[in-house]
Amino acid sequence: MVGGGPAGTTFALHAALAGLKVVVLEKDRDIGVPVRCGEAVSDAGLRIFHDPDPRWIRTTIDRIRLVSPDETVIEFPLRETGYILDRRIFDYDLAVKAAEAGALIVTKAYVNGLLTSPDGVCGVTGRQVQEPFQLRARLVVGADGVESRVGRWAGIRTQLKLKDLESGIQKTVSGIDVTPNIFEFYLSSSWAPGGYLWVFPKGKTMANIGLAINGVFARDGKAAHRFLDEFLEWKYPNGAVLSTVAGGVPVAKTVREMVTDGLMLVGDAAHTVNPLTGGGIISGMRSGLLAAETAVEILKNNLRPTRERLKAYEQKWYKIGGKNHERLYRLKEAIYRLTDQELDAIAHRLVSVPEDQLSLFKMFSTALRTKPSLLIDVARLFTGI
């Protein structure tokens, strides 16, 4: 297992619970650090895997606030509770759970290549601290995140188109006034072109404030950090920045091939992020779980993990989430084409709707009325044309 993020440790937990011998190689010194994430998850998503532990949760969210380009505010209750996690604790605890199930977690272990045989991938090479190592394995799992090289080394096409890679930056800001139970999103080409800006509270005086801009806009010269600095200067000029993180978000379709002989990809490495929201914690964990189920079935029966056999994982992913994932991808393409004027027009229509009648569905149907050509995109969404 290459990578100790939530996708990797979820695989490790379930494979180890089923009796497989698992080694997790993580290049960083600590699991869970640095945090390159807004840390937002839904209660329902988290509960697929674990009962939420209060230590993981910084804030519980039950409302959403959307701010349109001309600062029209739409706010309504969420049907589903959400959380802002503390991922340093969450990721660490996931690794502890995997270790308790029997997985070996090795930090400061940087994987720099694959071992191969005529049958396919059969291990990894790397360095732990300064010591080179080779580790043979019946199966290698690439859970090495958005910058994954494991897939590429194995000959899987993992390159992202510029339009499918968002450039994300986030600062944890303290000494500010925020409402602790609200997810706040700012939508405008001047705040975050081809993406959105978020304010995710971590209590009443602290928040993760970040944005992701589409790679196409990043190319045009103004870097994501400049958009964020301008927003902070405008909205929270007296906030103290406690940390800054930057990273790519693959808002793409899942890689066409999630497996090859002797190797599986999970999480960001396989592009399992929800392309509409950029959320990848839960979907990454889901892919880790599905991959583990397939690996257990093959390895416990002493079968060789050939590409053909491992494809069962790909099929399960597609059945459980993959089709929806493709729809979300097309929806993202449609929504990101809305202009600031169109976003304002939608917000103006919604602002007079009583909040108990507001929902994400209502917003979408209003968007359709405001921009009927979206219907064509929606038709494409469901027909796949």
Ligand X SMILES: Cc1cc2nc3c(=O)[nH]c(=O)nc-3n(C[C@H](O)[C@H](O)[C@H](O)COP(=O)(O)OP(=O)(O)OC[C@H]3O[C@@H](n4cnc5c(N)ncnc54)[C@H](O)[C@@H]3O)c2cc1C
Number of residues binding to ligand X, judged by CB under 6 A:
36
Among the candidate windows 47-55, 262-270, 308-316, 371-379, which touches ligand X by CB under 6 A? Answer: 262-270
**Nearest distance from residue 329's CB to ligand X, in Å?**
15
CB-based contacts of 230, cutoff 8 Å, min separation 6: none
Among 39, 86, 93, 257, which residue interacts with ligand X (rule: CB under 6 A)? 39
Q: Which is nearer to ligand X, 66 or 281 (CB)?
A: 281
| Stretch binding ligand X (CB under 6 A), from 15-23, 152-160, 272-280, 320-328 | 272-280
Is 267 a residue that touches ligand X (CB under 6 A)? Answer: yes
Stretch that binds ligand X, among 51-59, 155-163, 274-282, 356-364 (CB under 6 A): 274-282
Spatial separation of the C-alpha atoms in residues 297 and 232, rounded to whole Å: 50
Q: Does 151 bind ligand X (CB under 6 A)?
A: no
Could you say whether residue 5 binds ligand X (CB under 6 A)? Answer: yes
Based on the shown chain and the rule CB under 6 A, indicate whether residue 28 belongs to the binding site for ligand X.
yes
Binds ligand X (CB under 6 A): choice among 239, 247, 275, 322: 247
Among 13, 16, 22, 40, binds ligand X (CB under 6 A): 40
User: How far apart are the C-alpha atoms of 203 and 174, rounded to whole Å?
Assistant: 10
Q: Which residue has the tokens 């405001």?
A: 370
List binders of ligand X among 279-338 (CB under 6 A).
Answer: 279-281, 284
Non-local CB neighbours of 272 within 8 Å, separated by 6+ positions: 7, 254, 266, 280, 283, 284, 286, 287, 317, 321, 325
Q: Does 193 bind ligand X (CB under 6 A)?
A: no
Rounded distance between C-alpha atoms, residue 249 and residue 215, angstroms = 10
Figure out which of the listed residues 143, 173, 258, 350 binds ligand X, where binding follows CB under 6 A.
143
**Rounded to the nearest whole angstrom, what is the least distance from the CB of residue 145 to ligand X in the complex?**
3
Segment near ligand X (CB under 6 A), from 261-269, 322-330, 344-352, 369-377? 261-269
Q: Which residues pair with 67 in a beta bridge?
A: 73, 186
Least Å from the CB of residue 247 to ligand X: 3
CA distance 44 to 92: 21
Regarding 257 and contact with ligand X (CB under 6 A), the answer is: no
Q: How far is the CB of 235 from ligand X (least distance, A)?
A: 18
**Nearest residue to the partner ligand X, using Cβ:** 280
Distance CA 283, CA 233 (A): 34
Contact assessment for residue 156 and residue 265, using Cβ atoms and an 8 Å cutoff: yes
Task: Measure the CA–CA gap between 235 and 67, rounded to whole angstroms.
Answer: 13
CA-angle at 129, arms to 123 and 130, nearest 5°: 90
Tokens of 369: 């009325």
- Which one of residues 273, 334, 343, 358 is an interface residue with ligand X (CB under 6 A)? 273
Contact region with ligand X (CB under 6 A), list: 264-272, 309-317, 348-356, 365-373: 264-272
Rounded-to-10 torsion of CA 380, 65, 43, 104: 90
Q: How far is CA 64 from CA 45, 75, 78, 81, in A?
A: 17, 6, 6, 10
Whole-angstrom distance, CA of residue 340 vs CA of residue 342: 5
Q: Footprint of ligand X on residues 195-224 (CB under 6 A)? A: 210
- Residues in contact with ligand X by CB under 6 A are 2-8, 25-28, 36-41, 110-111, 143-145, 168, 170, 210, 247, 249, 267-269, 273, 278-281, 284
